[in-house]
A and B are shown apart, each in its own frame.
Chain A
Amino acid sequence: MEEPMHNSAITAAFDTGPAFVPYLTAGDPTFEASLEYVQALERGGASVIELGLPFSEPIAEGKTIQNAISRSLEGGMTPVRFFKFLEQLDVTVPLVCMTYYNLIYQYGTHDGPRPFVERAATAGLDGIIVPDLPAEEAGPLHSACQSHGLDLITIVAPTTTTDRLERLVSLCSGYLYVQARLGVTGARSDVSEQTAASLDRLTDIELPVAVGFGISSGEHARTVIESGADGVIVGSALVEIIGEGHRAGDSPDMVAQRLEAKSREITTAITKLQQQP
């Protein structure tokens, strides 16, 4: 395994025990409300926060996050505004951008991922996840991230073969994103059996391992940590709180409180675990 080229703030965030890594689509449903929501996640105990930069063709996303992406795009979110969003955020935890390759590729006046990564670094971003960029195509983004001290976080799927796994790990820094089940994002009422099997083959990897796709409750989160994960990624269950609040016309304050409470449910469930002998 290759050592990360820099001291990763993201990796360090896993040092203090099981990590809670929430996801929200930035700008959902508005720039201002979304700033408040992200801050609520930190109050709820987030260790690292993933922020979606919305793309018009989110092929890895289920309905819940697709809807969040539509709301955010309608609210006027763009890559340029996304960086302003990062700069206005008042949080101390490391931030990861989750987006699709075309937005990274188009940013700036010349081709390739460098201008995006350069701007991301000055805006205070710590890492990038790109669901439609497999190891085969990740070279240019990986080297841009390395030169600007950002982590490129790769995704390991249930279908990933052993030789591919090695390649994904060698490209990865920050944490390894383990996709808990096949399919698209979306909250589920159970924990997939694939999760334990996936984690079993990652036991000798030095990077922290965070599991995502389908985790929706403190109980799920606990099961995943008990199966050997270092962190849990929770997206759709939180995004749905925003969607419901938006549909009901609730105030951003109320929605922020619910997000904080849901975050606390998960952090409490996994922190207790750590205190047990």
Chain B
Amino acid sequence: MTGTFGRYGGQYVPEALMPALTELKGAYEQYVLENADGFMDEFHERMRSFGGRPTPLQRADALSDRYDTDVYLKREDLVHGGAHKLTNALGQVLLAKYMGKERIIAETGAGQHGTATAMAAAHLDMPCEIYMGRTDTNRQRPNVFRMRLNDATVTPVDVGRGTLKEAISEAMRDWAQSVETTHYVIGSVVGPHPFPKLVREFQSVISEESRRQIRDRTGSLPTSVVACAGGGSNAMGSFTTFLNDDVALHAVEAGGESLTVDADAGVAPNSATLQTGSEGVLHGARTRVLQDEHGQIMASHSVSAGLDYAGVGPELAHLVDAGRVSAHTVDDETALAGVHRLSQTEGIIPALETAHAVGWLEEATESQLGEQIVLTVSGRGDKDLETVLEESTRRNIPETPDMDVFDPPANGGTDA
């Protein structure tokens, strides 16, 4: 077996894709690890000029007061496109160019990875097709508009619940057909080897920057680092450079509506893969997955489309098993309240995914928070505005602002 992390990882894909994974592994070693033809130099330069890196590390004064500790925010929401996702997307689209590929495909959940890939493909002049579950196209409309404006084809996926899991399966089917000319830009540290390593390598720039920034600023390392985790690219990116330090690492998953599972209906009303999942094989890797007793993958749920996934990156699953990373869950309501708190007290409207990490600060113990905490703001919340207002109103989240400024709907109804 190759590309394993403890019990997890591997390459569980159709034979037809294996030569492409071997080719990708070669390109990863040559261009990414060894900087052949100045690949990494070009990547960093483009992330600077096009992508807006490095991102700031900012002290959050109101949160620091609230929790009586020093809270720093790593502002990945300021990356071009509004999330950490561009760093991986640009890295992979550039790599595809170096590999001589002619076309890009990607899956997307929240639409952030799709948007980032569409931007990177437009920037580097590559044709691009994005697979997105039908449920997600409807709940993340602004990102669909952005992808279309960047000239990407957006293909809705109607199978199953129409979320990220189905979009990945459909992208893999496209790749099985088009593998000779097409690169599949997977959106997180998931999938078969070498994707989990490749994506982690690009995203680890987050913690390279934040580790340097916090030391420059405070002269010390943080007590803890907090990041939300869906597939785990933001978490792995935020943690990697701290792995050998005495720094606590906290990954926050979506607790959704509840941590209990309806096995008969095949539904887990959460996306708490690290907390409640069990070992299985999904989308090319052995990892922790939400599955029923027979091994059928369950439909997951989260108010946040980007965390709504029944699997998780194999390396992150391994780090949790090994005790190096602690996994936590935050439910829909606590996350929604987190959006409002960060918006009202810090002037930053976070993505719903990020809001899970923000919400966790409310639930963490004093010792978990420690003296100094770095929280990665993985994305900004523009894409979520409608969902946040609707869902917060429906659940009577106390911090919800009223929207009386608008005229009432003409029919007096409750149109969204």
Contact = CB atoms under 8 A, between A and B. Distances in A.
Interface of A: 55-62, 66, 73, 78-80, 100-103, 105-107, 111, 131-137, 154-161, 164, 168, 179, 182-184
Given A102-B280, A132-B13, A157-B14, 20 more contacts: A56-B296, A57-B283, A59-B13, A61-B173, A78-B294, A102-B291, A106-B291, A106-B295, A133-B12, A134-B18, A137-B11, A157-B18, A158-B16, A159-B16, A160-B15, A161-B19, A164-B18, A164-B19, A182-B178, A184-B173
Given A57-B283, A182-B180, A106 B16 contact: no
B172 A59 contact: yes
B149 interface: no
Interface of B: 1-2, 10-20, 159-160, 165, 169, 172-173, 176-180, 266, 279-284, 289, 291, 293-297
Nearest to A66: B159
A100 B293 CA distance: 15
A73 B172 CA distance: 22
A123 to B, nearest CB: 16
A182 to B, nearest CB: 5
A59 B173 CA distance: 6
B286 to A, nearest CB: 8
Given A103-B294, A103-B295, A182 B177 contact: yes
Contacts of A107: 294-295
A184 to B, nearest CB: 5
B15 A168 contact: yes
A160 B291 contact: no
A56 B280 CA distance: 13
A107 B176 CA distance: 28
B242 to A, nearest CB: 32
CB-based closest 6 A-B pairs: A106-B295, A157-B16, A183-B177, A102-B281, A56-B296, A102-B295
Nearest to B284: A132
A100 B297 CA distance: 12
Most buried by A among B159, B176, B180: B176
Contacts of A105: 280-281, 295
Residue with the highest number of chain A CB atoms closer than 10 Å, among B18, B178, B291, B293? B18
Contact of A131 (B14, B19, B280): B14
A161 B26 CA distance: 15
Nearest to A81: B294
A133 B17 CA distance: 11
